């Protein structure tokens, strides 16, 4: 039995890298791919605000360059998330999570407002220093267990410290999520629907991280 996904559907052996398919990873992968396609095809909404005290309204629209940048970043984030869902290698997972993190910050950073850019910069700093526990944990797994393949790691126990480091790393990489998940205007705010990608990718990554931790311990 591997991790959360009760039964093993199949193994794809590519030399050292063994991809494994379970109902959990397959569902997560298909969700990520499907959502990326939706992101790529969807059009941003125009936010309309009523002006108080008179009969009028104002529209706030994103400029075309910003829309294109956000859409590109959302697609990159979706592809990275899909990769992190299907991979069978703990180091590849770390790389995909980092890429998804950079793309998340990119989606936020498309804005031209100073306070938003400042916040994105601080997210970026968190993301960069979280690389140390994440890659450090992957290196420790290689150093103590002798393999990076999650399929083989299922039968080898790794020390709890490594798991804690790994969780710390992933939390840092997706640290941008809570600030956007709690936002009530997520679906209607300026920048929607692309900022939903931040939400979806981080949720999927958290689920996969739980599966990997179960595999490691």
Partner 1 sequence: MEIGALFQTAIVIGFASAFIAFLGFVLERDDVHKLVLTDLIEVLTLMIVACVGTDLAECLILPALVVGVAEVLAFSELAVAKEKTRLGFEEKTQQSPLNIEVLRTSPNLIAIILILYGAVLTGFTGGAVAGLGMLYYLVCRWEGDITKSFWEGVGAVSGVAWCLWILGFLLFFIVPDLWLLALFLAGGGILVKVTSKMGLIGIEGKRSFRSPGGKT
Q: What are the residues binding partner 1 (CB under 8 A)?
A: 16, 91, 95, 98-99, 102, 105-106, 109, 112-114, 117-118, 120-121, 124-125, 127-129, 131-132, 135-136, 138-140, 142-143, 148
Q: How far is the CB of 142 from partner 1 (least distance, A)?
A: 5
Which CB sits closer to partner 1, 121 or 179? 121
Least separation in angstroms between CB 124 and partner 1:
4
Cβ nearer to partner 1, comparing 22 with 70: 70
Q: Residue 35 or 205: which CB sits closer to partner 1?
A: 205
> Judged by CB, which is closer to partner 1: 5, or 101?
101
15: helix, coil or strand?
coil
SS3 state at 101: helix
Helix (H) or strand (E) holding 76: helix 64-86
For residue 5, report the phi and psi dihedrals to the nearest 5 degrees: -70, 105
Pick between residue 112 and residue 185 the one whose CB is nearest to partner 1.
112
End-to-end, the C-alpha distance of the chain in Å comes to 13
CB of 202 to partner 1, least distance (A): 18
The CB density around residue 158, as the number of other CB atoms within 10 Å, is 19
Q: How far is the CB of 174 from partner 1 (least distance, A)?
A: 15
Beta strands in the chain, from DSSP E residues, in sequence order: 10-14, 17-21, 47-50, 57-60
Q: What phi, psi does 14 have (nearest 5°)?
A: -120, 75
Least CB distance to partner 1 at residue 209 (A)? 18
Half-sphere exposure at residue 143, Cβ-oriented, CA atoms within 13 angstroms: 8
């Amino acid at each position: 039995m591997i991790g959360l996904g009760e039964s093993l559907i199949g193994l794809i052996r590519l030399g050292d890298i063994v991809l494994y398919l379970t109902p959990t990873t397959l569902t997560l992968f298909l969700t990520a791919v499907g959502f990326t396609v939706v992101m790529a095809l969807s059009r941003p909404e125009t936010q309309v605000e009523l002006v108080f005290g008179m009969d009028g309204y104002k529209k706030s629209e994103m400029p075309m360059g910003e829309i294109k940048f956000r859409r590109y970043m959302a697609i990159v984030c979706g592809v990275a998330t899909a990769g992190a869902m299907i991979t069978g290698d703990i180091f590849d997972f770390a790389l995909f999570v980092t890429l998804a993190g950079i793309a998340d910050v990119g989606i936020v950073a498309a804005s031209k407002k100073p306070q938003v850019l400042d916040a994105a910069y601080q997210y970026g700093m968190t993301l960069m220093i979280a690389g140390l526990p994440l890659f450090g944990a992957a290196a420790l797994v290689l150093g103590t267990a002798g393999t990076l393949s999650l399929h083989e790691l299922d039968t080898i126990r790794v020390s709890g410290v490594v798991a804690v480091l790994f969780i710390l790393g992933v939390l840092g990489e997706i640290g941008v999520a809570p600030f956007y998940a709690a936002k009530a205007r997520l679906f209607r705010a300026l920048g929607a629907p692309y900022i939903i990608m931040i939400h979806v990718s981080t949720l999927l990554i958290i689920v996969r991280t739980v599966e990997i931790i179960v595999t490691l311990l």
